[in-house]
Structure 1
C-alpha cells in the first residue's frame, strides 16, 4: 500500500486526463489514418481516375481486349455509349459493356 501512495504523491495528485495528454493520446491514431490515406487510398483513387480515362477514350475503330481476354475491334456503340459492339471475327459481332474493356491498342 505504501508504494501506491508514494507513486500518487510523485505525480502530484494530478489526474491523468489533462488537455495536453488527450491530444497526445490521439496522435498515433491520427498518424495511422494519415499513413493509410497516403499509402492506400490516394493511389487507389489515382488508379481509378486513369481507368475511367481509359474507358472514356474508347472509340470506333479501336482494337480492345476485354477483362475476359476476348480480342476484337469496336465497330459501334449502343445504349448511350454504355455498350460497345465488338467485331471478333468476320461474321461475329458481340455486345460488351464498356466497363469490361481491359486495354486498348489504337488501330491506324
Structure 2
C-alpha cells in the first residue's frame, strides 16, 4: 500500500559494483584534467617566484606587493632587504613581499 513500484523493484545481483563505477567515472576523468590544468601550473608558478626571490640582489629594481617601486640598496639578511624608494627614502622589506623584479642590477664588485 505504501510501497511505490520504484522501491519494490530490486536491483540485480552484482549490479552494485557497476553502479559504483558509473558514479565514480566522472570524478576519475576530471581529476587528471584538474591536475594538469590547475594544480601543476600553480606549482610551477610558485617555484619560479621562489627562484626569483632567491635571486634578488643589490641594484635590482623591484615592485613590492604594496605597489612600491624601488631599487635594492642592501641585502640585510636572508629574509630582509633594504630598498631605496628615491629622495633618500630607504625602507626594509621582507623578501616575500616582492611581487616582481623589473630590472636586474649588476653584481657587487669584490675587493
TM-score, normalised on structure 1?
0.75
Q: How many Å separate the matches in 2 of 1:67 and 1:98?
A: 10
Question: What is the CA-CA distance between 1:99 and the residue it aligns to?
Answer: 1.1
- Choose from 81, 88, 91 the match for 2:88: 91
Q: How many Å separate the matches in 2 of 1:67 and 1:85?
A: 15
Q: How many Å separate the matches in 2 of 1:52 and 1:45?
A: 11
Q: How many Å separate the matches in 1 of 2:45 and 2:88?
A: 36
Secondary structure, aligned partner of 1:17: helix
Question: What is the CA-CA distance between 1:49 and the residue it aligns to?
Answer: 0.7
Question: What is the CA-CA distance between 1:22 and the residue it aligns to?
Answer: 4.0
Where does residue 52 of structure 1 map in the other structure?
A: 50
- Choose from 75, 78, 84 the match for 1:77: 75
TM-score, normalised on structure 2?
0.73
Q: How many Å separate the matches in 1 of 2:69 and 2:23?
A: 56
Moved over 6 A (4+): none
Q: Say what the alpha-carbon RMSD is for the aligned residues.
A: 2.4
5+ residue gaps, structure 2, are 107-111
Q: How many Å separate the matches in 2 of 1:67 and 1:22?
A: 48
5+ residue gaps, structure 1, are none
Q: How many Å separate the matches in 1 of 2:75 and 2:68?
A: 17
